[in-house]
Amino acid sequence: MHDHRQLGRELGLFDTDPLIGAGLPYWLPDGAAIRHTLEEYIRGAERRAGYRHVYSPVLGKRELYEISGHWAHYSDDMFPPMDLGGEQFVLRPSLCPHHAVIFRSRAHSYRELPLRMAELGGMYRSELSGVLGGLTRVRAIQLNDAHIFCTLDQVAQEARGALEMIRRAYEALGIAPSRYRLSLPGPGGKYVAAPEKWERSTALLTEVLDGSGLPYEAAEGEAAFYGPKIDVQVTDGAGREFTLSTVQVDFHQPERFGLQYIGADGAKHRPVMIHRSIIGSVERAVAHLIEEHGGAFPAWLAPTQVAVLPISDAELPNADAFARRCAEAGLRAEVRGPASGTLGARIREARLVPYQAVIGAKEAVDDRVALRLRDGRRLEPLPSEDVLARIGALVDTHSTEVWDQAAAA
């Protein structure tokens, strides 16, 4: 297994600088390409599943987190407040309070429910510098978050829908859960006191897990302070397990923020809030992908998808033209000409790139490309049009296959 910190530096994906601060990595262009592609995949999956996206600020007044309960139950993990004009602001430890306030800002009818609100937004955690490292323990987090405001009757179906999105995302990302965990409160933890609500939400999540047929284990002491959750666990290169995805049922924050909708009976009702994340924090997700794939990402995620390799300087114009057509087709391509080494050296150099498009005099003559696939396969020269179409189709469908043999036949 690979260490994402070492590989991240070798591949030029991300880095840190003491002047910026520990736990505050920055993303280099190749890392940013992966992150952008991952975020767009998530947004697309959410749009198709009926979510609507919002933006909200990364800080808010201290009162916001007093109402949500974060201040009482979570302030150890929060940055200290900033004083400004007699008010106190804090960097947010989660997106939920902002989304609850956005929901509350408009009147809602039962016809709008389930209302699915999503955001890929920043949040902050005051980790001590001793535990910080790479992308897995950071102080600034980009969270793939969403909140579903719904009726009690809709909770099970919405939670099932979220689990299905997680399943599909893992398939596209080429990763697998190590286990599903029903995370319950435990002794000594800081939890909001509302035994009846804990029981109801635990019963709902248990029903969803039992109905899903997925094997799971219950674990005490792993719940959020406001409610139980389903956690999807993965294991990193060093054998450590962590939570990547989560689905949570929350009766607490709707109560605290006084959320309501008008029911079919014309009366006011309290919605339930489901918190769900498909890939958790973008940082952790990318760290896991780096370790899992050793830098050989699925083609749709790869920072460079096509390495265009002209055999001699004579084919450089053809290589440039092919790379431009790749870019127009939405693919990330890069020409590596003879100036950067022999063909063999350039092929080795591009070993993590899913497609190496070799263009020699023979191919240049009739606009063909000789493809070498990352897995070592070498294809007969194909018309460049066909190559673009086939790679494009695999990338668009987020396939983890580097070549579709059936389509190629």
CB of 274 to Zn ion, least distance (A): 9
**CA nearest neighbour of 354 among 393, 397, 300, 309:** 300
Residue 185 or 280: which CB sits closer to Zn ion?
280
Mention every residue, 6+ apart, whose C-beta is less than 8 A from residue 8.
14, 15, 31, 134, 135, 287, 290
Residue 271 or 298: which CB sits closer to Zn ion?
271
Residue 122 or 237: which CB sits closer to Zn ion?
122
Q: Which residues pair with 372 in a beta bridge?
A: 356, 378
CB of 250 to Zn ion, least distance (A): 7
Helix (H, G, I), strand (E, B) or coil at 65: helix
Tokens of 356: 């190496």
Asked whether 4 and 237 are in contact (CB, 8 A), the reply is yes
Q: What are phi and psi of 79, to 5 degrees?
A: -65, 150
Would you tell me how many other CB atoms lie within 10 Å of the CB of residue 3?
Answer: 16
Please tell me the number of Cα atoms within 13 Å of 331 on its side-chain side: 30
Mention every residue, 6+ apart, whose C-beta is less than 8 A from residue 204.
155, 156, 159, 249
Residue 99 or 398: which CB sits closer to Zn ion?
99
Where do contacts with Zn ion occur on this chain (CB under 5 A)? 96, 275
CB of 118 to Zn ion, least distance (A): 11
Residue 92 or 275: which CB sits closer to Zn ion?
275
The Cα 161–Cα 165 span in angstroms is 6
Residue 27 or 103: which CB sits closer to Zn ion?
103
CB of 288 to Zn ion, least distance (A): 21
CB of 247 to Zn ion, least distance (A): 11
CB of 119 to Zn ion, least distance (A): 10
